Amino acid sequence: MLRAYKYRMYPDKNQIEMFHKHFGACRYIYNWALENKMKSYEQEGKSISRFELNGKIRMLKKEFEWLKEVNSQSLQGATLNLDNAFTKFFREKKGFPKFKSKKNPVQSFSVPQHHQIDFEKNKVKLPKIGWVKTKLHRNFEGDLKTATVSKTSSGKYFISILVDDGKELPDKQVFDIDTTIGVDVGIKDFAIMSNGEKIENPKHLKNSIKRLNVLQQRLSRKKKGSANRQKAKLAVAKLHEKISNQRNDFQHKLTSRLISENQAIALETLNVSGMLKNHCLAQSISDVSWSSFVTKLEYKAEWHGKSILRIGQFEPSTKICNVCGYHNKKITLAERQWQCPDCGASHDRDVNAAINIKKFALNKQNLIGI
**Which member of 141, 168, 176, 350 is catalytic?**
350
Distance CA 273, CA 80 (A): 28
Query: In whole angstroms, how far apart are CA 198 and each of 64, 184, 190?
Result: 60, 10, 8
Asked whether 236 and 215 are in contact (CB, 8 A), the reply is: yes
Asked whether 322 and 347 are in contact (CB, 8 A), the reply is: yes
Query: In whole angstroms, how far apart are CA 22 and each of 46, 72, 106, 156, 304?
Result: 30, 10, 13, 16, 37
Of 322, 326, 320, 361, nearest to 341 by C-alpha is: 326
Of 310, 319, 325, nearest to 364 by C-alpha is: 310
Question: Could you tell me which residues come within 8 angstroms of residue 328 by beta carbon, excluding any fewer than 6 positions away?
Answer: 319, 320, 321, 338, 340, 341
249 is catalytic: no
Cα of 216 vs its chain's centroid, Å: 25
261 is catalytic: no
**Which member of 189, 268, 335, 348 is catalytic?**
268
350 is catalytic: yes
**Which member of 184, 197, 200, 261 is catalytic?**
184
Which are the catalytic amino acids? 184, 268, 350
